[in-house]
Amino acid sequence: MAHPPCKLACPILTDVREYVQLIAERRFDEAFATIRRQNPLPRVCGRICTHPCETACKRGQIEEPIAIAALKRFASDGPWKNQYKPVLPDKPSGHKVAVIGSGPAGLAAAHDLALLGHHVTIFEALPVLGGMLRVGVPEYRLPKNVLDEEIQAIVDLGIEIKTGVRIGAQIKLSDLFEQGYKAVFVAIGAHKDRKLGIAGEDQFEGVISAVSFLRAVNQGQNPKETKKAAVIGGGNTAIDSARCLLRMGAESVHIVYRRSRDEMPAAQEEIEEAIHEGVQIAYLTSPLKILGEDGKVSALKCIKNELGEPDASGRRSPKPVPGTEFTLDVDMVIAAIGQAPDSSLVADELGLTERRERIIVEGPYTLVTTRPGVFAGGDAVTGPATVVEAISAGKRAALSIDHYLKGESIPAIEPAKDVEKVSLARSVVEKTRKFPRCKKISLPADQRLRGFKEVESVFSEDLATKEALRCLHCYLGARIDAEKCVSCLTCVRVCPLGIPTTSKMGEITIDPFACQACGVCALECPVRAIDISLDPRTEIAQDIKKAMSTSQHSGPVIVGFFDLHGNFDSSDVENLRQDYPHVLPVMVFGLRRIDTSDILKAFECGADGVLLARCPPESDPFPEATDRVKRRMAHARALVEALGLDGGRLEICDMPEQGLVQKELIDGLIQRIKEPGQVRSE
């Protein structure tokens, strides 16, 4: 079965589809476990990941992609996270591994190596752990207490920490091997800011590199006060710096970027938030010269650009327009035009020649360096990249090191190939019911700037569930068993999206990418030739039996089929269990999946009554398909009555605005079961 686009787009192949489905099913602890098994820093990623999964998400072709990062945060922030316990192997391997750097690459490597049974020591140059997560990303995007908790969970696996140690300075790589470490992972990140290269850069007080600025801010230090600041650059670091400056009381903050908005490398969301908070962005503007007075920065002379021919990066290169010079009054200039790794301390030992910036690895997928036993990954190798790419490097390094320690050859773990984005047919898009993406909940701009409070809040259970239900379940859809298929064309006729097509000879094709796993064809097929991976019919039958096996005889046993698209939360389920322990819920992705034989099966297994609960129509992605349930229910009722039972034992109702089912309805059904022959409510 093909991987869904969200998984393929993720550098660590996160099982996005799986945890989103679990959230939709209100199985939040399992959703978290799914995430956490693959990712040791889910609360970080849920906040600051660039979410390539969202860019690839098929829902984006309908209206907007699923808010996957927000869902990850919801699943990872919840109280159930504490139930997750990673399992360490019984016997340690006996090998020691040194991890240099405690950023995301180092932390991920350490985590995975520990789970593989190796003893890990992290060497961190700074007095605090986290790398750029701690000293780069501001508090209002990633609160330090969250980071602390995530790191602690990793450290609790038995990882040794040595802060304030700069490898290459006090201790060389070779020293580590002498100390008994069998392998080393160099994950020192990219913390060296590029210089602006303009006059006045080194002359005046108030010209700061973004890295050192952010490091100071993130460590609670107050750099020089500023009223008017300019930030030069267009990446996330520039945006982070600008937004921090506002919170530190700057009256005006200008970002000076040499190209236009379309070329800005910063994440769109970040740019939008910065503008929302009041950062002014001067596009197509390059700095010429820093001016000063009394040894302090007083102004920044700039020039406007126009875009010319594309350069090596493929972006159109900025060309200054003569005569457009102007001056910005500023008392601080922050240089945020890009970072580079600083490998000077280990360059000799690793045989690095040119430039002493990026560390060269031989196999890009094995992460081996020229020196045996030494591996490298993350920003230190690629230059500044994203958190999840760093985590991916850490995880790959752990696997490579594990093979190495076992004396095995190191397989190249090739990343998934860039898959061409498949477009949905226009007719499918048109026929898909639109549900807007749940908006993120952010602090209003004025409240934000009074401090460094976290700007975004986590989804509530209701919103998270609603958002997760927008998922289109890529590749979990219908599959036809060609041997059973009799080409009756029913699936072609009943599909709400018009997806199955027939050849002249009756060979039916269902596009697995387009199918949204609604379940209608699998139900309507008269020869049961269609299987579906989401809520398979066999599973529904098993769920009925399972539910019946838990029945206690405290009242008439009622099997209730509830639509997961209803507006209910886990407390509603709990309340139902408590108030009506003899009402056994079977949850389905859509009441449209329930066939006459499912209703009969419930009775056959001993149920005294059956309740079918439809979700509110405004939440139903396939309302017409759901409507047909009435007819199947009428047929079931006719059979039930032909069997001599009262038809009132079978009820279809609408789920309330909030909750699973109205008390009166259940009470009415129970009453009718006890005293048959009464008038039904429908």
Partner 1 sequence: MITLEQKKFEEIEKMTKGYSRLLVLGCETCSAMSFAGGQRQVEELASAIRMAQKTSGQEGEVLEDAIARQCEPEFVDLIRDKLAGCDAVLSLACGAGVQLLSERFPDKVILPGCNTTFLGVTEELGVWSERCAGCGNCILDKTAGLCPIARCSKQLLNGPCGGSMNGKCEISKDVDCVWQLIIDRLARLNRLEMLEEIFPVKDWSPAGHGGPRKMVREDLKS
Which member of 644, 657, 677, 679 binds partner 1 (CB under 8 A)? Answer: 644
Stretch that binds partner 1, among 27-35, 91-99, 505-513, 523-531 (CB under 8 A): 523-531
Strand 160-163 with 119-124, pairing: parallel
Decide whether 253 or 529 has the Cβ nearer to partner 1. 529
Least distance in angstroms from the C-beta of 600 to partner 1: 4
User: In this structure, which long-range contacts are made by residues 410-417, counting pairs with CB atoms below 8 Å and at least 24 apart in sequence?
Assistant: 410/363, 410/366, 410/368, 411/366, 412/363, 412/365, 412/366, 413/365, 413/366, 414/365, 415/11, 415/365, 416/3, 416/8, 416/13
Decide whether 225 or 507 has the Cβ nearer to partner 1. 507
Which member of 51, 228, 601, 649 binds partner 1 (CB under 8 A)? Answer: 601
Q: Are 430 and 534 in contact (CB under 8 A)?
A: no
Decide whether 62 or 650 has the Cβ nearer to partner 1. 650
Question: Crossing angle for the helix pair 28-38 and 16-24, nearest 10 degrees?
Answer: 170
Q: Return phi, psi of residue 43, to 5°.
A: -75, -30
DSSP state of 274: H
Query: Site for partner 1 (CB under 8 A): how many residues?
Result: 24
Instruction: Decide: helix, strand or coil at residue 191.
Output: coil
Decide whether 288 or 600 has the Cβ nearer to partner 1. 600
Contact string (CB under 8 A) for partner 1, positions 377-396, x = contact: --------------------
Which member of 404, 561, 603, 622 binds partner 1 (CB under 8 A)? Answer: 603
Least distance in angstroms from the C-beta of 74 to partner 1: 39
Q: Are 151 and 161 in contact (CB under 8 A)?
A: no
Least distance in angstroms from the C-beta of 78 to partner 1: 40
Least distance in angstroms from the C-beta of 430 to partner 1: 21
Decide whether 493 or 577 has the Cβ nearer to partner 1. 493
Residue whose structure tokens are 């000077």: 344
Which member of 595, 608, 620, 651 binds partner 1 (CB under 8 A)? Answer: 595
Structure tokens at 413: 């773990």
State yes or no: residue 604 binds partner 1 (CB under 8 A): yes
Residue whose structure tokens are 């005006």: 252
State yes or no: residue 355 binds partner 1 (CB under 8 A): no
Contact string (CB under 8 A) for partner 1, positions 524-543, x = contact: -xxxx---------------
* Calpha distance 26→155 (Å, rounded): 30
Based on its alpha-carbon atoms, the radius of gyration of the chain, rounded to whole angstroms, reads 30
How crowded is residue 444: how many other Cβ atoms within 10 Å of its Cβ? 9
Neighbouring C-alpha atoms within 13 Å toward the C-beta of 204: 23
Instruction: Decide: helix, strand or coil at residue 518.
Output: coil
Least distance in angstroms from the C-beta of 504 to partner 1: 17
Decide whether 429 or 645 has the Cβ nearer to partner 1. 645
State yes or no: residue 600 binds partner 1 (CB under 8 A): yes
State yes or no: residue 247 binds partner 1 (CB under 8 A): no
Question: Crossing angle for the helix pair 16-24 and 461-468, nearest 10 degrees?
Answer: 120
* Alpha carbon distances (Å) from 237 to 213, 231, 232, 433, 471: 10, 10, 10, 39, 32
Least distance in angstroms from the C-beta of 488 to partner 1: 4
Q: Which helix (H) or strand (E) holds 20?
A: helix 16-24
Least distance in angstroms from the C-beta of 589 to partner 1: 20
Least distance in angstroms from the C-beta of 506 to partner 1: 12
How crowded is residue 12: how many other Cβ atoms within 10 Å of its Cβ? 19
Stretch that binds partner 1, among 102-110, 128-136, 154-162, 634-642 (CB under 8 A): 634-642
Q: Are 673 and 649 in contact (CB under 8 A)?
A: yes
Least distance in angstroms from the C-beta of 610 to partner 1: 13
Stretch that binds partner 1, among 6-14, 198-206, 297-305, 589-597 (CB under 8 A): 589-597
Which member of 643, 657, 677, 679 binds partner 1 (CB under 8 A)? Answer: 643
Least distance in angstroms from the C-beta of 638 to partner 1: 7
* Alpha carbon distances (Å) from 109 to 8, 33, 156, 234: 21, 19, 14, 30
Least distance in angstroms from the C-beta of 490 to partner 1: 7
- Applying the rule CB under 8 A, the residues between 452 and 511 that interact with partner 1 are 484, 486, 488-490, 493-494
- Contact residues for partner 1 (CB under 8 A)? 484, 486, 488-490, 493-494, 525-528, 595-597, 600-601, 603-604, 638-639, 642-645
